Amino acid sequence: MRIHQRTSIAAAAALIGSFALLGTGAGTATATATADETSVALPSSSFRDIVVDGLHDHVFVSDPDGGTVVVTGYDGSVVRQITAEEGAAGLALSKDSSKLYVALSTADAIAEIDTATLTETHRYPTGAGTKPETLALAGGKLWFGYAADSQGGIGSVDVASTAPTATLVASGRSWYYAPSLESSPADPNVLVAGQEGTSPASMAVYDTAAGDLQKRVESSFISSPSISFLNDFAVTADGQNIVLAANNPSDHQVVRLSDLTSNGSYSSWQFPNAVAVASDGTVATGAEGDFVKTYRPGTTWPAYREYGVNDLQRDGLAWAPDENRLFAVTGVFQGSAPTLHVLPDAGKLDTTLSLTAPTTSRKGRDLTVTGQLWAGGEAFPAGTSVDVTRTDAEHPEGVAVGTFPVDTTTFNFTFTEQPRAAGDITYTATYKGDGAHLPSTNRATVTITK
């Protein structure tokens, strides 16, 4: 597990730097490499929601106080600030990422933004005094959580119709505030609604296939588990569980989507306030008083990567569809601007590459070097290989020795040479990485005697 420490940066952009580790010398050593990370102060005064557009490699961040949506690239650089989005709150992307929907909490409407042109193309009124706050797509409709006349509710917009209009829909229960909404990656008809800011917290799961809300199950989390003051939640990639972030308890609780009963937890120190699930099932958790942590699919311990952040915001985590980049929003503290942190390899496993070679060897004799590529026991795909170069007196700039396959069962590789000259030679082994694994490199030096 690697721990990355970071503080907020009050600058337009600042490069945090890499955490590459390189082992050198004879014998056995290991090496791991990670990519650079970036933090960017956003041109906004508040934060409410974040979504990632994998089609155009854009990140959208809503700013309700400023009435804007900030658009950045994957590197955090600001592309545009979409203005006149009054009370911009919850965000949702269409399935094909061609449209961004924005809940306009002070305009009683939902804006539709073309993600190619980054301009508003439609606006759907939700009704006087509804104050829409949250959005989710399910059952072919856009659903919104609203608060009208001191009571919350759920409405929908059939955005696929020729003339979309908003409808307030009976949810079969009472809500104190606008409920937060999430859909299921595994079932397009599932809509999950959660009540934030109350003790105990409460949640309901709906089927939207018929166009309305058919309640499957609901729960007030009084016990087993006991949860209060919900901040964020997300459905796991397989659609089996919901991960919750709440002020109490000081862990990210997991409940089954089928019956909302307890199914474990992710360890946190205090005030969990954010959670995001990547499409491959990797889970990211965040807490106001703890690290941002990532977990392999289906596991709740141990965290395989941790990031220290200052003042992580509620709902402030989002994965890119490539399952590697994680975005985190911090700041909005004592007048500071929100800061977007780009964590480019958060969805990749660290790798270590070891080399074992004798300290000395005779000239003209077989010299065998063995190595191992390791990722915490996780499998590598078939065809994984390691490139090896040799540096010696005749080749001070290095010469290729070959590309050697990694055994997918033992994770070992080996090669043999017959050095022709006396002196020190250094072998450098390099693993280039893949979509799920970070690259790594290592060296071993052998003294060749006559």
Q: What is the CATH number of the domain that holds 432?
A: 2.60.40.730
pLDDT, mean of residues 327-348: 86
**What is the number of alpha carbons within 13 Å of residue 31 lying toward its C-beta?**
24
Q: Which domain holds residue 66?
A: 36-343
Q: What is the mean pLDDT of the chain?
A: 90
Q: Nearest 10 degrees: CA dihedral of 291, 296, 299, 305?
A: -30
- Most distant CA pair in the chain: distance in Å? 91
Q: Residue 5: what pLDDT?
A: 36
The residue out of 288, 321, 343 marking a domain boundary is 343
Q: What 3-state DSSP class applies to 113?
A: strand
Same domain, 90 and 141: yes
Contact 322, 54 (CB under 8 A): yes
Q: Residue 428: what pLDDT?
A: 97
Same domain, 310 and 173: yes
Residue 11 has pLDDT above 60, yes or no: no
Would you say residue 318 lies in a domain?
A: yes
The residue out of 280, 309, 343 marking a domain boundary is 343
Would you say residue 28 lies in a domain?
A: no
Same domain, 374 and 284: no
Determine what percent of the chain is predicted with pLDDT higher than 90.
Answer: 79
The residue out of 343, 377, 394 marking a domain boundary is 343
Res. 165 pLDDT band, cuts 50 70 90: very high
Helix and strand numbers, DSSP H then E, in the chain: 0, 38
Nearest to 156 by CA among 164, 90, 148, 353: 164
The total number of structural domains that make up the chain: 2
H or E segment to which residue 203 belongs:
strand 202-207
The residue assigned the tokens 């780009």 is 342
The residue assigned the tokens 């759907």 is 124
Would you say residue 22 lies in a domain?
A: no
Burial of 350 (0-12, 13-18, 19+ CB in 10 A): buried
| CATH code of the domain covering residue 67 | 2.130.10.10
Please tell me the pTM assigned to this model: 0.86
**What is the number of alpha carbons within 13 Å of residue 267 lying toward its C-beta?**
7
Would you say residue 94 lies in a domain?
A: yes
From residue 4, give the alpha-carbon distance in Å to each of 149, 304, 305, 306, 432. Answer: 46, 11, 8, 6, 22
Res. 302 pLDDT band, cuts 50 70 90: confident
Sheet holding 58-63, edge to edge: 50-53, 58-63, 68-73, 78-82
Q: Residue 35: what pLDDT?
A: 60
Same domain, 61 and 205: yes
